[in-house]
Structure 1
C-alpha cells in the first residue's frame, strides 16, 4: 500500500490561472487609466473595448479557477497563527467575490448604457439589459469603488505573499510559483 504525500504546492493549472487572472486585472486597470486620459473618439473607443475584453477575460478565468479548485483542491496552509490563517481565508474569499463583482458590474454598466461588449473583436456578448441611464450611472459608481477595492486588496495580497516568503519564510509564495521550491 502506498501512502500519498500531502500536496504542498498548487498544480501548474492553478498557477497558470492565478497569474493569467492577475495579468488580466492589471491589464484592465492600466487600460482604464489610459482611457481616462483620452479625448472621445476612435482611440478611446478602441481602448475601452480592450478594457472590457480584459474584464470579461478576468471573469472567465475566475470562473474556471473556481471550478478548478473543486477538481484540484489547494494545498493545506503551512502552520501559522490562527489570526493569520483567518485573515488569509477572508482575504481570498473577498478577492474572489471582487474578481466576479467588478466585471459583472462593468457589464451591467455597458449594457444599461446601450454599449456592446465585444471581446477582442472575436465575439460580442448578448445584451442582457435594455438601456437604462439611471442604472448605468449607479453601476458606474459601484464599478469604480469595487475596482479600487480589488486593487487595494490585491496589493495587500501581494504584500502578504512577500511577507510570508521573506519574513515568515514559510514557503507560501513558492506554492504559487512554477519555479518555487518543491517543499
Structure 2
C-alpha cells in the first residue's frame, strides 16, 4: 500500500510551511554565516595563520553576498507576510516574533556597518574585483569609527541570537513537537 503523494513544495510561503525561496534564503544564509563565524572564531583562537586566512580571505565577498541576500530576504518576507506560518500565540509567539525581528535587524546592520566603514576608509571596496567605492585620500573618520564600533560587536551578538534560534528550534522539536523544524526543513508532519 503506497502512501499518498506529497504535494510539491510551493515557491511562495503558505500558512502550513515555508516555500522554496524562503528555504533557499534561510539555508543559504545559514551556510554563509557559518563560514563567516568559523573564520572569526578561528582568528580569535589562532590569530593570523594560513588556516585562518583560508576562511577570512573571503570575508568581504561573503559579507557582501550576505548583505544582498538579507535585503532580498526582507523584501521576500514582506511580500509573503500574510502567507507565512504563524509564530504562535501568547508570550512564546511574541518572543518568536521579537527574536526573528532582532535577527533581521542585526543581519542587516552588521554588513551595513562594514559597508559604511569601507566607504569612509582609505581603501577601495572591491568585492569580487569590482570597485564599488574608490580609495579616498582622507578617511571620513566618523564613518570608520561607527563601522569599527558596530561591525564586530554586533557580529558576535548575531552569533548569540543564532545560537538562541537553534536552541529554540531544538525545544520546538524535542519538547513541544509542533512541527516548527519541519516547516522550514522540508519534511512534512504526519
Q: Which residue of the partner structure matches residue 173 of structure 1? A: 181
Higher relative contact order (CA closer than 8 Å, sequence separation 6+): 1
- Alignment map for 1:82-97 (pairs within 5 Å): 82-97=90-105
Count residues in correspondence: 172
Aligned residue among 51, 72, 80 for 1:72: 80
Moved more, 109-118 or 164-173: 109-118
**Cα shift readout 1:15-58 (whole Å, capped 9, x = no counterpart):** 0100111122222222334556217x9x95x8655101111111
- Alignment map for 1:101-112 (pairs within 5 Å): 101-112=109-120
Q: CA RMSD in A?
A: 2.7
The 3 A distance-change label for structure 1 pair 125 and 182 is farther
The alignment's TM-score, normalised by the length of structure 2, stands at 0.77
Q: Which residue of the partner structure matches residue 125 of structure 1? A: 132
Unmatched tracts of structure 2, length 5 or more: 1-13
Counterpart of 2:58 in 1: which secondary structure? helix
**Cα shift readout 1:47-80 (whole Å, capped 9, x = no counterpart):** 65510111111111111111212333452326x4
The alignment's TM-score, normalised by the length of structure 1, stands at 0.80
Q: Which residue of the partner structure matches residue 98 of structure 1? A: 106
Counterpart of 2:131 in 1: which secondary structure? strand
* Whole-angstrom distance in 2 between the partners of 1:149 and 1:87: 17
- Alignment map for 1:36-55 (pairs within 5 Å): 37-38=47-48, 48-55=56-63
Q: Is the 8 A contact 1:49 1:119 kept in 2?
A: no
* Whole-angstrom distance in 1 between the partners of 2:120 and 2:55: 20
